[in-house]
Amino acid sequence: MSRYIWLVLLVLGGCSQNQRTASEATASDSSWSVPGGDSGKTYFSALEKINRTNVKTLGLAWEFDLETGRGQEATPVVVDGVMIVSSNLGRVYAIDAATGSEIWRFVPQVDMQVNRTVCCDQVNRGVAIRDSRVYVASLDAVLYALDFGTGKVLWQADTIDGEDRGQHISGAPEIAGDVVVIGNGGAEFGVRGYVSAYDLETGELRWRFYTVPRDPKLGPQENPELEEALATWGEDARWEMGMGGTVWDAIHYDPEFDAVYIGVGNGGPYHYKKRAPSGGDQLFLSSLVALDPENGRVKWYYQQTPGDSWDYTATQPMVLTNLEVDGETVPVLLHAPKNGFLYLFDRRDGSLLRANPIAYQNWANGIDPETGRPNVREDLVDYIDTPRIVFPATPGTRNWHPASFNPQTGLYYASVSEVGNLMFTFPGYPPYLPKSVTHDAQLVYTSDLLNMLPALPPPIRDAVEQSPELERVKNGKTGGYLRAIDPLTGETRWEVENSSWQDRAGVLSTAGGLVFNGDVTGRLSVYDTESGERLHSIETGTSIIAAPMTFMQDGEQYIAVTAGWGGGGWPYVPKHSAAYRYENRGRLLVFKLGGKSVPMPQERPPLEVATEPPPIPEGTDLANGTALFFQHCTLCHAHSPRTISADLRRMRPEVHAIFDRILLDGVFVGAGMPRWDDVFSKDDVRDIHAYLITEQQKVRASELALQEKGLPLNAEPSRVLSSY
């Protein structure tokens, strides 16, 4: 283990209603029956009862407890007066859309050990509904078909392709013709990415499309497209690493062209040379791929980030619409992946129509109009030998937070982050371990870089000081923005700045001239689609990251949004967030005109000085404990107060007393704290415990000093330990 490792950073029920029949999702369906609102997933609604003139009276109609302290990313759907919403782990609730009373609930039996390979919280991003069936996937990657009327399981399918269980699912299934398609996450855990299609009625596997080739020694590839893709990987590719390319979010069926578009994730490990030293584009990583829903064969593809080394997933949500492009109305696909560009494709043949940056990026010197290839600035962003400041950072200019395309204004409303990161590697770190984080790159976000600089080892500090990007780090924009963007040019028409680049949330726009967007401070804001003027805001006391939706019920228009901090970076609770101040209990909030104010959740008790830890046991190997902690625990534990997964520097005596049982017997497995008896010896556990005791001693000493001076205990910056 490197002595610099501590720097690793950074970034930081019952059934009360008769059987109902669910209608099919159509674009004209004002009841919002698919997570994106319509078959184009525009997150636009033609409803205008709530509009510029009256939105000021918008207030709470009803709320629903989602029964968890973990993140909420799903957009509810409403079909025939029933709201269906998914929550963490793949739980589903059916609720009377007008009153908020529960009709049924589905709680999957989840193998909680899955958490060990879940990067970004136990979130779930939604359901698909067709013919009286609700489809949802659980965190441990089982796809379920539920009865719409009762919530009973009709069939279930284990979506894992073999023994290897580095996968998990957080995304929503997508219906394409007579199949339901689902992907998975796990690119950082030695997984080979794929999507699977199941028969809607029986749950039988119809086809599976792998996003990266397999080791050719194992025999031919599963289809001819993968044989071709093989040529884009070096002969020296280390196939045992899986290579990533997981499809953890956007899967989009296009009925007009009978295609399933998937966004393929990043490569794992991050740097392309670690996957295949001789390089190559490494298809289909970081690509948009159009598949035939009949057989899963490739119709067309476009690789957005060839040879991805920066965690530039292409899994971000897409919008299908028609746009006037160069004098012609064209069926288009709008897509803003992590890499900073907004792409416009012609859905007829997949040709690239536009690619414009929507935030500062430095990895590509534009896209060559002839070849459609980005001109990758290897000189500026290849960090294998030299630390580099790369824009955007690994969390991306855009992430999973849905954007809204409004056909009336022609604008694309999206949460955009302006942030880069310093990337560097330690030779050989971390060693490749199956089902363990394969991160080979260390990251420092540009928002923290100047503060961190003095603490960085000299060669890394020197590289930062000589970087052509240092000026931008000092004086450039760093933040999170709600932007109204012209999809043809990428230009921002108006923007609203949020409290930090981590402050981003899904967007809804409506024909009432309104844009709805929540934030992590717990505010739901409503803006004018044309001017960006804030027309109304509602304090909810719960951090919002999901996208709102709207529906009509009995003549009343409602706005609904799920609230709860979590997702990528979930262990780190920003100090300005509602999750820091209040209990982070997930809730579904539903608003109407003339509604009331939202009851605030319970405030968290004031921070107390960390208790005196027990003495360090004799004979411990602190270096071993530190290394094991950073390798296995920082995925979920941040050295930061009020972290959702417990700040291990402030364990109470009764927790110290059962420390080994927590790790080896799994006493908290049900709460999401995995067991590790297959990984650690008793001595390892003692060493990790010793490391944490030293951290608790340090934090206690500094807090006692702060208390003496009458200063708040959280005055010091938190140390975010994982790169998610």
- Residues 176, 255 contacting (CB under 8 angstroms): no
284 vs 668 by CB, closer to ligand HEC: 668
Does position 10 bind ligand HEC by CB under 6 A?
no
Does position 616 bind ligand HEC by CB under 6 A?
no
445 vs 659 by CB, closer to ligand HEC: 659
Strand, helix or coil at 449?
Answer: helix
118: DSSP letter = -
Does position 668 bind ligand HEC by CB under 6 A?
yes
504 vs 637 by CB, closer to ligand HEC: 637
Q: How many CB atoms lie within 10 A of CB 76?
A: 25
Strand order in the sheet with 58-65: 58-65, 587-593, 556-563, 549-553
How far does the chain reach from its first CA to its final CA, in angstroms?
20
Query: What minimum distance in Å lies between the beta carbon of 107 and ligand HEC?
Result: 18
The residue count for binding ligand HEC (CB under 6 A) is 22
Q: Considering only the stretches 519-527, 589-597, 665-673, 710-718, report the one whose residues sit in contact with ligand HEC under the rule CB under 6 A.
A: 665-673
- Residues 288, 263 contacting (CB under 8 angstroms): yes
The beta strand positions in 349-478, using DSSP E, are 352-357, 364-367, 374-376, 388-390, 404-406, 411-418, 421-424, 442-445
Query: What minimum distance in Å lies between the beta carbon of 115 and ligand HEC?
Result: 4
Q: How many CB atoms lie within 10 A of CB 535?
A: 19
Query: What minimum distance in Å lies between the beta carbon of 679 and ligand HEC?
Result: 8
Positions 76 through 115 that interact with ligand HEC (CB under 6 A)? 115
Query: What minimum distance in Å lies between the beta carbon of 243 and ligand HEC?
Result: 23
Identify the active-site residue in 311, 440, 448, 519.
311
Rg (CA), the chain: 24
- Residues 330, 346 contacting (CB under 8 angstroms): yes
15 vs 616 by CB, closer to ligand HEC: 616
- Residues 120, 724 contacting (CB under 8 angstroms): yes
Query: What minimum distance in Å lies between the beta carbon of 480 and ligand HEC?
Result: 25
Query: What minimum distance in Å lies between the beta carbon of 19 and ligand HEC?
Result: 38
- Residues 193, 183 contacting (CB under 8 angstroms): yes
Does position 659 bind ligand HEC by CB under 6 A?
yes
456 vs 646 by CB, closer to ligand HEC: 646
Positions 687 through 706 that interact with ligand HEC (CB under 6 A)? 688
Q: Inter-axis angle of helices 682-708 and 622-632, to 10 degrees?
A: 90
The burial class, CB within 10 Å (0-12 / 13-18 / 19+), for 257 is middle
265 vs 625 by CB, closer to ligand HEC: 625
- Residues 121, 638 contacting (CB under 8 angstroms): no
Closest CA to 501 of 452, 564, 568: 568
Closest CA to 300 of 248, 347, 266: 347
Query: What minimum distance in Å lies between the beta carbon of 165 and ligand HEC?
Result: 14
Does position 674 bind ligand HEC by CB under 6 A?
yes
151 vs 625 by CB, closer to ligand HEC: 625
Does position 565 bind ligand HEC by CB under 6 A?
no
Q: CA geometry: angle at 472 spanning 470 and 478, to 5°?
A: 120
- Judged by CB under 6 A, which of 673, 690, 693, 721 binds ligand HEC? 673
- Judged by CB under 6 A, which of 213, 522, 574, 672 binds ligand HEC? 672
What track of x and - describes contact with ligand HEC for positions 617 through 656 (by CB under 6 A)? ---------------xx-xxx-------xx-x--x---x-
Query: What minimum distance in Å lies between the beta carbon of 566 and ligand HEC?
Result: 11
Longest Cα separation, the chain: 78
- Judged by CB under 6 A, which of 123, 662, 664, 721 binds ligand HEC? 662
**Catalytic annotation on 311?**
yes
Does position 185 bind ligand HEC by CB under 6 A?
no
Does position 671 bind ligand HEC by CB under 6 A?
yes
Strand, helix or coil at 380?
Answer: helix
Strand, helix or coil at 274?
Answer: helix
88 vs 415 by CB, closer to ligand HEC: 88
Closest CA to 234 of 255, 253, 213: 213
Q: How many CB atoms lie within 10 A of CB 407?
A: 15
- Judged by CB under 6 A, which of 116, 133, 338, 585 binds ligand HEC? 116
Positions 399 through 428 that interact with ligand HEC (CB under 6 A)? none
Contacts with 322 (C-beta within 8 Å, 6 or more apart), sequence order: 329, 330, 331, 332
- Judged by CB under 6 A, which of 194, 209, 345, 676 binds ligand HEC? 676
165 vs 271 by CB, closer to ligand HEC: 165
Does position 570 bind ligand HEC by CB under 6 A?
no
Q: How many CB atoms lie within 10 A of CB 25?
A: 23
- Binding residues for ligand HEC, rule: CB under 6 A, are 115-116, 632-633, 635-637, 645-646, 648, 651, 655, 659, 662-663, 668, 671-674, 676, 688
Active centre residues (catalytic):
311
